[in-house]
């Protein structure tokens, strides 16, 4: 079901761009200590996990998994904030880095992408088998949110008692068009530069011998990167085929897990019209739409020197009903 979000932006952060940028700038000195673990994957690759603390298999406290966004990591402002909020609740948080996002390249040419659910599935099975007594929830931000929708729609087992999808590009094609317009191109350049850097790192260790580095450096848009890199190395015909197969919007009705989806109409990364173009949703999926909030911003409070991060209250509040 759709509902209007209760979020009200801070009076000094009304604009979507300001919300988006302030969320990153205001948390740049936030430090979160983690306990790190490497999870070996069935295909010979690996993903790195970041835990808020070490726990034993006998753990009975709730475990909340976190999926980051495009080229994100445990150091992303939203990840540190949510993991800190999870820890403050007395729960255990664990972030799964997508392949190549933990600070070291993965072993294979295959990369993570918006529809790649096999690693999340293996990670989830690992949590279920290793910590069978703990109730579990999962939250995905941006790209990680879209991956989460695809995973939840596919899964047959009830590993998670609740889930939350934050600012996800549920319609990938229109979101690529949106971020290629106006001031949003600043965000696109930032992301594309990071994507090119991580790809060059893989070229240098001979994981992508067929990629021409000069052509790669000439890429200016996410769509062009997906056309040249993401689609071919992950078995898609082209970028459009990738977007069609990987978008999460049209599989939301297949999700059986109680799920909170949060979206801001002024998100400069996402096409609001296409992201919310869903006719009906089951009652256990709550799609909250806010007029303001930007991309993973959602900063409120009356004191500019003490900003509040609404997502870090809203998501745990929703999870608490199910954990």
Cβ–Cβ contacts within 10 Å for residue 18, how many? 17
Q: Indicate which residue of 97, 113, 263, 295 is catalytic.
A: 295
| pLDDT on residue 30 | 86
CATH 3.40.50.1820 fits 2-171+247-320, yes or no: yes
| pLDDT on residue 29 | 83
According to DSSP, residue 227 is labeled I
- 267 counts as catalytic: yes
d(CA 261, CA 192): 26
**Is the separation of the CB atoms in 85 and 164 below 8 Å?**
no
d(CA 288, CA 295): 14
d(CA 133, CA 302): 41
**Close Cβ partners of 225 (under 8 Å, ≥ 6 residues apart):** 192, 195, 196, 219
Domain ranges, ordered by start, for the chain? 2-171+247-320
Question: pTM of the prediction?
Answer: 0.98
E-assigned strand segments in the chain: 2-4, 35-40, 46-51, 63-67, 92-96, 136-141, 162-166, 259-264, 285-290, 299-300, 308-309
**Is the separation of the CB atoms in 318 and 260 below 8 Å?**
yes
- 198 counts as catalytic: no
Q: Indicate which residue of 111, 126, 267, 290 is catalytic.
A: 267
User: pLDDT by residue for the chain (323 residues), tens digit each?
Assistant: 899 999 999 999 999 999 999 999 998 888 899 999 999 999 999 999 999 999 999 999 999 999 999 999 999 999 999 999 999 999 999 999 999 999 999 999 989 999 999 999 999 999 999 999 999 999 999 999 999 999 999 998 899 999 999 999 999 999 999 999 999 999 999 999 999 999 999 999 999 999 999 999 999 999 999 999 999 999 999 999 999 999 999 999 999 999 999 999 999 999 999 999 998 999 999 999 999 999 999 999 999 999 999 999 999 999 999 99
What DSSP assignment string belongs to 64-91?
EEEE--TT--TTSHHHHHHHHHHHHTT-
Q: Indicate which residue of 142, 164, 173, 221 is catalytic.
A: 142
- 295 counts as catalytic: yes
């Amino acid at each position: 079901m759709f509902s209007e979000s209760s979020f009200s932006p801070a009076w000094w952060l009304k604009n979507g761009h300001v919300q988006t940028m302030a969320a990153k700038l205001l948390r740049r000195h936030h430090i979160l200590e983690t306990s790190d673990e490497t999870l070996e994957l069935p295909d010979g690759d690996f993903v790195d996990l970041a835990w808020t603390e070490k726990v034993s298999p006998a753990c009975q406290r709730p475990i909340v998994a976190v999926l980051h966004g495009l080229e994100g990591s445990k150091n992303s402002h939203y990840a540190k904030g949510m993991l800190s909020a999870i820890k403050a609740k007395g729960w255990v948080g664990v972030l799964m880095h997508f392949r190549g996002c933990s600070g070291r390249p993965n072993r294979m040419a295959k990369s993570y992408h918006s529809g790649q659910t096999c690693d999340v599935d293996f990670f989830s099975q690992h949590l279920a088998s290793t910590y069978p007594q703990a109730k579990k929830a999962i939250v995905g931000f941006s790209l990680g949110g879209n991956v989460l929708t695809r995973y939840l729609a596919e899964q047959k087992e009830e590993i998670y008692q609740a889930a939350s999808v934050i600012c996800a590009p549920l319609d990938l094609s229109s979101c690529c068009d949106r971020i290629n317009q106006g001031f949003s191109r600043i965000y696109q350049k930032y992301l594309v530069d990071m994507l090119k850097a991580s790809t060059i790192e893989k070229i240098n260790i001979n994981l992508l011998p067929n990629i021409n580095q000069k052509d790669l450096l000439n890429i200016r848009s996410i769509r062009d990167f997906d056309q040249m890199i993401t689609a071919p190395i992950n078995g898609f015909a082209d970028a459009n085929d990738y977007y069609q197969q990987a978008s999460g919007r049209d599989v939301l009705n297949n999700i059986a897990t109680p799920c909170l989806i949060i979206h801001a109409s002024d998100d400069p990364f996402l096409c609001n019209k296409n992201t919310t173009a869903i006719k009906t949703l089951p009652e256990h999926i709550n799609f909250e739409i806010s007029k303001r909030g930007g991309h993973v911003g959602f900063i409120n409070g009356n004191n500019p020197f003490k900003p509040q991060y609404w997502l870090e209250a809203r998501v745990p509040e929703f999870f608490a009903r199910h954990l």
